[in-house]
Amino acid sequence: MKMRAAAALTATVFMATSALADDLEFLVVNDSSADLVEFNVSPASSSDWEGNLLRGGYLAPDYEADVVIADGLSTCIYDIRGAFHDGSSVEDFGLDLCDLGEYVFTD
């Protein structure tokens, strides 16, 4: 059984605030064998990736981090992209972050 330690990294996106929109929170887990060096979350309606939430840091294998999306949008549907130190990347589209709970990167 793998033990996971909570990473000291909390990624937060602040684009615009709205009293009517709830923040979206989920856990990102790196169950892959490489460091996660870039993590992007963008509204599904966007044609561009938002900035790297790891901001020059990384998420090592077997670590996890809390993610808070506080962009003021009323949508739950987002796309996720992860890039790894070994050059691989993963893109996942149309995820309902309101119901996600956690997103796990694996090999």
Domain with 61 in it: what CATH number? 2.60.40
Q: Which residues contact 64 (CB under 8 A, 6 or more apart)?
A: 4, 6, 7, 27, 28, 29, 30, 102
pTM: predicted TM-score of the whole model, two decimal places: 0.77
Please report the pLDDT score of residue 19 as a whole number: 38
pLDDT band at residue 89 under the 50/70/90 scheme: very high
pLDDT band at residue 71 under the 50/70/90 scheme: confident
Structural domains in the chain (count): 1
How many residues in total does the chain contain? 107
User: What's the pLDDT tens digit per position in 41-59?
Assistant: 999 999 999 999 998 899 9
**Helix/strand number for the chain, H first, E second:** 0, 7
Rounded-to-integer distance, Cα 42 and Cα 79, Å: 5
Q: Are 40 and 80 in contact (CB under 8 A)?
A: yes
- pLDDT tops 90 at residue 85: yes
- pLDDT above 70 coverage of the chain, percent: 80
Residue numbers of the domain that contains 38: 5-106
